[in-house]
């Protein structure tokens, strides 16, 4: 990736991600009435090949949501197949989940987590980003996973629901143009 984060920029970005991901964890915890823990945000530059490798896990569900505004990109929510019934039960869904109800649950979870993460992150930087509705994404059904970015800054955090086996990851992907805008906003914050 042409644009690399300085250590100071990376630290600031990681702290901003921590705050916004914490908001997402709190939103989910309030909704389900269970403790939600999260990992330290991971920030890495990835190539299309590395990104495609991430999408090979068959034990998870994927959703994707694009976003536009001052910055554009895509949010992937990776949701474990294990524990879906227990998280559904915590969210007052009738279990066992049928396919339609499972899809509804996955999209609702993705919208809660991705929405809180992205809005909190953009808000702290004084940027706007409008998130589209989530769709289920089945990369294993595609011959070649379409990744339109030459390189991507990936910001990822993992959420675990302690009352179940369920966990998920939110991955915010920014292309090079969005990374440039992000760096300008970070530099203004650091001045």
Domain assignment present for residue 2? The answer is no
Q: Judge whether 1 lies within some domain.
A: no
130 located within any domain: yes
The set of residues, in sequence order, having a beta carbon less than 8 Å from that of 44 and lying 6+ positions away, is 153, 154, 156
Q: How many separate domains does the chain show?
A: 1
Cα-based torsion angle of the residue sequence 111, 115, 22, 47 in order, rounded to the nearest 10 degrees: 90
Domain of 50, in residue numbers: 7-190
86-132 confidence digits (pLDDT tens): 999 999 999 999 999 999 999 999 999 998 888 888 899 899 999 99
Domain of 88: which CATH number?
Answer: 3.40.1550.10
pLDDT in tens, 128-158: 999 999 999 888 766 555 555 555 778 888 9
Q: Is residue 84 part of a domain?
A: yes
Q: What is the 3-state secondary structure (H, E, C) of 36-96?
A: EEECCCEEEEECHHHHHHHCCCCCEEEEEEEEEECCCEEEEEEEECCCHHHHHHHCCCCCC
Per-residue pLDDT tens over the stretch 3-46: 468 889 889 988 998 998 888 899 889 988 889 998 988 888 88
Q: For residue 98, tell me if it sits in a domain.
A: yes
What is the Cα–Cα distance from 58 to 39, expressed in whole angstroms? Answer: 22
């Amino acid at each position: 990736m042409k644009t690399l984060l300085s250590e100071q920029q990376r630290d600031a970005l990681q702290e901003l991600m921590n705050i916004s991901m914490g908001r997402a964890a709190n939103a989910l915890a309030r909704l389900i009435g269970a403790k939600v823990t999260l990992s330290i945000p991971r920030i890495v530059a990835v190539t299309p090949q590395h990104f495609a490798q991430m999408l090979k896990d068959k034990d998870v569900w994927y959703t994707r949501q694009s976003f536009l505004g001052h910055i554009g990109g895509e949010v992937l929510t990776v949701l474990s197949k294990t524990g879906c019934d227990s998280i559904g039960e915590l969210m007052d869904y009738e279990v066992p989940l049928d396919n339609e109800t499972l899809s509804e649950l996955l999209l609702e979870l993705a919208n809660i987590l991705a929405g809180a993460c992205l809005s909190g992150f953009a808000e702290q930087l004084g940027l706007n980003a409008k998130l589209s509705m989530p769709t289920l994404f089945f990369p294993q059904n595609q011959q070649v996973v379409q990744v339109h970015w030459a390189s991507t800054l990936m910001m990822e955090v993992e959420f675990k629901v302690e009352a179940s086996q369920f966990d998920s990851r939110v991955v915010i992907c920014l292309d090079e143009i969005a990374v440039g805008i992000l760096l300008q906003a970070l530099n203004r914050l650091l001045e």
